[in-house]
Each structure stands twice: as structure tokens, then as C-alpha cells.
Amino acid sequence: MRIRVSHQTVYHYDSPASRVIQILRITPRSHDGQHVVRWRIDVSADCRLTTQEDAFGNITHAFSDDVPTDRLEVLVEGEVETQDTGGVVRGAIERFPSSLYLRETELTRADPAILAFARSVAHADPDDTIGTLHALVRGVYSEVTFDTDPTHVTTTASEAFSLHRGVCQDLAHVFIAAARSLGIPSRYVSGYYWRSDGITAQDAGHAWVESFVPSLGWVAFDPTHAMCANDAYVRVAIGLDYLGAAPVRGTRFGGVGETLEVAVNVAQAFQQIQS
């Protein structure tokens, strides 16, 4: 499938913000199931975008602007050709052995409730990792209801799990916490999701999980939709948790009264006629 993504973020400040600095992780890389056809980033600030690669192989762009501003716009636009690989991720950049992704983080700490939940869904046969993961993705889907209200970007897995509510980020964190507690290396993925119901406008990007299965390698699970990722998914960045894969991390000085408008559009691109 050919997916066209546009992602516009506009910040308005009542009093001007200065010393704005941001690190963006919003540029996908190609791997076996995904080919980036074109991709570009525009930032309204008058400054240089520095491209780097982070520890996990994600492409980052950094910019800083010292001039006070009351409006800042970041626009991302591109097209990606995807294939359904049944969730299996091959040919992606791997900087670390899978065991790194067993590491606990503040956002993905498994509390006793998550530990108990993880044990309850785990398959009896310890070698049936894939079976356990399928049970887990269904389990998280039914335990945690999608709800944009009660949680925010700093909500931890255990908070979301006790609320039984959260957004894709929270569901991913719960999944990761549970999977790691069972000894299955797991990581956070941020990206975009194409909806098959024809609705293209979205409020935010998407987030899901990749877990390591010895016989298959990394396999992508989406607890928000209780399924493995397929060709509707554009994979952008990975990390140990949201913080490591966050599309934007930034700081500013001043800029009181920030309002944020995010417009994400994910649509199927019209296939170009090959000549």
C-alpha cells in the first residue's frame, strides 16, 4: 500500500517564546516491509535543521531558535510504500542485542497488578513466545479501554493499567511492561496508522509495540487494535518507551499560554501509473 502522511504541529504562545530548542523523531527509515518514497520536514523558525541518528538508529532533526516568537510550525509530509509482513520486522537497523529491551524504565515499570496480569495471560509452554504475545495483545486490548481523557504524556504503565483507560501510548506501555516482566524483550514504536474506514484526519500519530520472538525476530503488535501491524502501519521511531521514541522533545523559555494544534492526515496515495 502507498500511504501519504502529513503531520502539522502549530504552537501558539500568548507571550513570545524564546530559546526554543526541539529534537524531532519524525522521519521514517526503510526496511523490508516499508519503503520511504519521499519525506520532508519544514520548520517555520529561521534556523538550521541538524540531522543526526540516535542510539537506536532513529533519524533525528534538531533545531534551535533564539529569536522570540509567538508561533512555531513544524510540518512533515511524505509518502511510504508498505507491505503486509504479518507484523514481522526485518531489515531494520538494530544497534543493540534484543536483551537491551528487557530494561525497565519509569514509564514501563511493572507493578504487582501488571505482573499478575502478565502471568495470567502467559502460555504454559515457555517456548511459545508468539502465543503468549498474541494473548497479551488481546488481553491489553480488553483490559485497557481506549480513551483520550484521563491520561497524558507522562502517565506510567501502572497508572494507565489501574485506570483501565488510556491512549495508544498507554496501551503500548502496559504491553511492554507486561511482556518484559515475562522476559520477552519489547520496545515502543511510534508512527502512523492508516484507517480503513475512510477517515483520514487524525488528532495524533499512533504508537504500538515490537517484541522479540526467538524464531522470528522482532514482531509488531498493536494493543490498540488487538492485532499485529500490517501494511496500514508506517513505522517511524523506536525506543525503550515513549520518551525514547517521542516525535518531539523540546524546551523553551517564556512562551506562557501555549496552545497546540495538531493535524495528522493519513491517506492512501493514488498509485502512479508506471510507464
Partner 1 sequence: MADCFDEMRGVDGAIRPAYAGLDAWLRDLSPDLLDQRCQEAELLFRRIGITFAVYGEAESTERLIPFDVIPRILSSAEWSLLQRGLTQRVKAINMYLKDIYGRREILKAGIIPEDLVFQNQVFRPEMNAQKVPHDVYVHIAGIDIVRVDHKTFYVLEDNARTPSGVSYMLENREIMMRLFPDLFSRYRVAPVENYPDELLATLKSVAPETAAADPTVVLLSPGIYNSAYFEHSFLADKLGIELVEGRDLLVKGGVVYMRTTEGPKRVDVIYRRVDDDFLDPLAFRPDSTLGVPGLMSAYQAGQVTLANAVGTGIADDKAIYSYMPDIVKFYLAEEPILQNVPTWRCREPEHLTYVLEHLAELVVKEVHGSGGYGMLIGPMADKGKLAAFRTRIEADPKNYIAQPTLALSTCPTWVERGVAPRHIDLRPFVLTGRDTVRIVPGGLTRVALQRGSLVVNSSQGGGTKDTWVLDT
The footprint of partner 1 (CB under 8 A) covers 19, 21-23, 47-48, 50, 52, 54-56, 60, 62, 64, 66, 95-97, 99-100, 102-104, 154, 240, 243, 249-251
Give me the torsion for CA of 180, 182, 184, 186, rounded to 10°.
-30
DSSP 14-65: EEEEEEEEEEEEEE---BTTEEEEEEEEEESSSSPPEEEE-TTS-EEEEEEE
CA distances 94 to 190, 228, 250, Å, are 16, 20, 26
Minimum Å gap between C-beta 80 and partner 1 is 26
Output the smallest distance, CB 250 to partner 1, in A.
Answer: 7
Residue-level length of the chain: 275
Minimum CB–partner distance for residue 170 and partner 1 (Å): 17
**Between residues 96 and 257, which has the closer beta carbon with respect to partner 1?**
96
Distances (CA, A) of 2 to 84, 155, 166, 232, 270: 12, 34, 30, 9, 8
Give 10 or 21: the residue with its C-beta nearer to partner 1. Answer: 21
- Looking at the Cβ atoms of 104 and 111, the one nearer to partner 1 is 104
Closer residue to partner 1, CB minimum distance, 4 or 25 = 25
23 vs 137, beta carbon nearer partner 1: 23
At 115, is the secondary structure helix, strand, or coil?
helix
